[in-house]
Each structure stands twice: as C-alpha cells, then as structure tokens.
Amino acid sequence: MIPNILFAARPEQWDIYEKPLKSALSEAGVTANLALDLAPEEVDYMVYAPNSAVQDFTPYTRLKAVLNLWAGVENIVGNQTLKVPLARMVDHGLTQGMVEWVTGHVLRHHLGMDAHILGQDGVWRKTIPPLAEDRPVTVLGLGVLGQACAKALRGLGFPVTGWGRSARTVPGITCLSGDEGLRTALQRAEILVLLLPKTAETENLMNAERLAMLPKGAMIVNPGRGPLIDDDALLAALDTGHVGHATLDVFRVEPLPPAHPYWAHPRVTVTPHIASETRPITAARVIIENVRRGETGAPYLHLVDRAKGY
C-alpha cells in the first residue's frame, strides 16, 4: 500500500514545502501520496508544525509517526493524544544557520565591534581585545545545535565550557552537568550562549541568582528559547552593568511588542528570531528519510524523548 503523508502546517507553508518534499521523495526513491487534505483515518505520516490546526491526534488511527518541521517540540511533546513516535527537526541547514549566527555574535562581542560600528563620531577609540584563547565561552545546552556551536567556537580558539542536564563528552570541550557544574560553567563565562530547549526545568534558568554567578561585564547571546531568561532579572543585571550586553533572538512573546523595554535598552540587541530557520530543501530530505525508514522498518532519526521533553 502506498503511504499517505499529510502536510499539517499553516496553509501558506504548503506553497513553500510542496516542491521540496516531492523532490525529496523522488531523490529517495519513495513512492507516497503527499497532500494538504486527507481523511484522518487514511494518514500514515504527518509533516507537522505545532501551530497547525491539528491538535487532537485521536482520529488518526493509521498514523505511524509525526515528523516535526521545527527543532522545538515544547508545544507538542505534552499532547496526550499523540501516541506515535515524534521526530524533531535536525537538519544541516538549521544547524549551519545557528553556527553562523552564534559565531558571528560571539566574535562581535569578543572583538568589541559595536564601538567601531556605532561610534562613528570622530573619536579614535583604540582598544585591543584579548585573543580568543583568553576569552572563556560557555554554551548551555549540548544537543545537536549546542555541540555544533561549541565545536565551531573551539575551532576559533576560544576555551569552551559546555553544560547539559545530563553528562556528555564532546572532544575539545570541557563538559559539565548538574547544579555544581552549572555554577562552574557560569562563573567561567565571559560570553554565555544559551541553546537549551524549553522545559519545566529550564524555564527562568537564568534568574537573578544565576545571572549573579557570571563574571562582571559578561555578554549573553540567546538564540535558544526566550523563557530561559527571567526578563526582569536580566534587565536589572544590565542596568547595574553586571551583564555587559545581551543579544537576544528569541522572546516569550513574538514579535517582541514595540513597548518592551528590550527595544530601548542600550545594552540589548534584538534580532527577530533569525538565528536559525528550517530550510525547506534540507528539511524535506530529513523528513522523507524518516518516511523511508518507517516504510522499511529502520529506526527513525531524531526521535523525541517524551519523558525529557526534547
């Protein structure tokens, strides 16, 4: 029987993904029916975005797997009607985009580029930054994106400490875990990169107590999840100068409301959730590879651990 694949995302995304998904099916040699509208009882696989109209999976009695278009799964992982495997998006385009954004902003802060880019006022500001080898960087989150960014920064010469909720080993990276490991990781972080998923355990992880653990003047780069940071605590730390600058790409409410204090704060850079986007061509290949695996009995890639929430 030819499998049926339902595209369950916002309708406007169909125009973006239809051609790449059909091309990926052809490249993989997979014969399947891909559609925007299918009877629930006829669906074998679901290409899914958490903001889809589909929120109750009970009618999908033939469903084999849900293949998420997004890296984040916090808005679906707790859905009690979802009983089949859930795969999150891990693809080359998304990872490479994150590496480029993170390394760009870490280098910007390390080199003090803002003083020259923004300070075109006739004042000769000559300051010599330390070498990368003398600028400790900490990456919180050692999943696929965190590891990729940590390795890229290490390749540029930064001493990198990585922290995760479970113990990991990454060559060239000092890997820590647990509460004491987090304290140590923060105390070392002249530049802090946040790449943790949003879970009950990570929400407001960077509260006033943990922000105070950072070295005075530390820079924060957050392309992970907005709720990782207690906004009021960060604003207070920025006002005192304990945190030197925060470059934020993700927020609790998006788009960030015009009246939000982050927009006007001189020590905050807002970027509009552009650190890493799912690229349709590369994402389609990942999705269809999981369809191929499902049809041949091979294990799915990038399965979510429902107990951990990511």
* Distance of alpha carbon 256 from alpha carbon 192, whole angstroms: 22
Residue 64's SS3 state is coil
* Distance of alpha carbon 133 from alpha carbon 127, whole angstroms: 17
Number of other residues whose CB lies within 10 A of the CB of residue 142: 25
Active site residues per annotation: 225, 273
188 closest CA partner among 142, 132, 146, 136 = 136
* Distance of alpha carbon 66 from alpha carbon 48, whole angstroms: 6
Please name the residue that has the structure tokens 């987090």: 182
* Distance of alpha carbon 24 from alpha carbon 27, whole angstroms: 5
**DSSP letters for 182-216:** HHHHHHH-SEEEE-PPP-TTTTT-B-HHHHTTSPT
Helical H runs in the chain? 11-28, 92-111, 114-117, 144-155, 178-188, 208-211, 231-240, 261-264, 280-296
Helix axes 280-296, 92-111, angle to 10 degrees: 140
